[in-house]
Amino acid sequence: MDQNFSIVSLVLGASTVVQLVLALLLSVSLASWTVIFRKYFSIKRARLKTDDFEQEFWSGTSLNDLYQAAIGSARQGSPLQRIFASGMREFLKLRERRLDPTTLVDGARRAMRAAQQREMDVIESNLSFLASVASVSPYVGLFGTVWGIMHAFVGLSNLQQVTLATVAPGIAEALVATAIGLFAAIPAVIAYNFFARDIDRLSIRFESFMEEFSNILQRQVAPHPATGNSPAPGASRFPADAGSR
């Protein structure tokens, strides 16, 4: 009963292998918390900038003005703004070649799809690391526990009389590894599910915007019923475009 069973004393009294396992788990836990905070702020920033761009887009601003603003703030803009810029850039390039309206809209949609994939790769970066920490850490902690228990029983084999007081320290030292493994895994699981949900919502918003913008481009290049000519892109922004959401 006089033995010290604090976490620090248990870690210092553990075997070398268990101490290495604990050091690895603590390092992984620190790295996962760093990823969690960075990912939280990056997703929040992407969501807020997307809100701002959508508000500006549906306010009735001309497509050319939005395109010029997107080019000027390519890196500082929102992911949705860069997706829009990619689609608009491809649309203007194809329009100079005087292609048919269907080809123009399809080319812009493909360009936006490629830009969306690039943006999603950036947003989802390091998410797999959290998944790995969540799935592997308990097993690493369990390995440390099994090794610690083996080491404790090997030491007890040299004793003539074994009591609970002699067994408890070794078992407690080994169980610390499982506790640290869970300490590293549980926050990673919660953060992964939280971020995956937010990323899915952003992806759905990107998909919806690309479809709505494609419809706007389709209306922009559709021949006028009276003249048969197509209006210049961005030359007019019909009120129906901004209010069709």
Decide if 193 is inside a domain. yes
Q: What's the total number of domains in the chain?
A: 1
pLDDT in the model for residue 224: 56
Greater confidence, 82 or 145? 82
Decide if 2 is inside a domain. no
Decide if 178 is inside a domain. yes
pTM above 0.75, yes or no: yes
CA separation for the pair 199, 194 (Å, rounded): 9
Decide if 22 is inside a domain. yes
Owning domain of residue 68: 12-242
DSSP annotation string for the chain = --S---HHHHHHHS-HHHHHHHHHHHHHHHHHHHHHHHHHHHHHHHHHHHHHHHHHHTTT--HHHHHHHHHHTTTTS-HHHHHHHHHHHHHHHHHHTT--HHHHHHHHHHHHHHHHHHHHHHHTTTHHHHHHHHHHHHHHHHHHHHHHHHHHHHHHTT-SS--HHHHHHHHHHHHHHHHHHHHHHHHHHHHHHHHHHHHHHHHHHHHHHHHHHHHHHHHHHSPPTTT-PPPPTTT---HHHHT--
- pLDDT (mean) for 30-38: 95
pLDDT in the model for residue 185: 94
CA separation for the pair 94, 87 (Å, rounded): 11
Decide if 5 is inside a domain. no
Decide if 113 is inside a domain. yes
Decide if 60 is inside a domain. yes
Summarize pLDDT for 107-116 with one digit per residue, the tens: 999 999 999 9
Decide if 25 is inside a domain. yes
Q: Is the pLDDT of residue 173 over 80?
A: no
Summarize pLDDT for 51-89 with one digit per residue, the tens: 999 998 888 888 888 888 888 877 788 899 999 999 999
- pLDDT (mean) for 149-171: 64
Mean pLDDT, the chain, rounded, equals 81
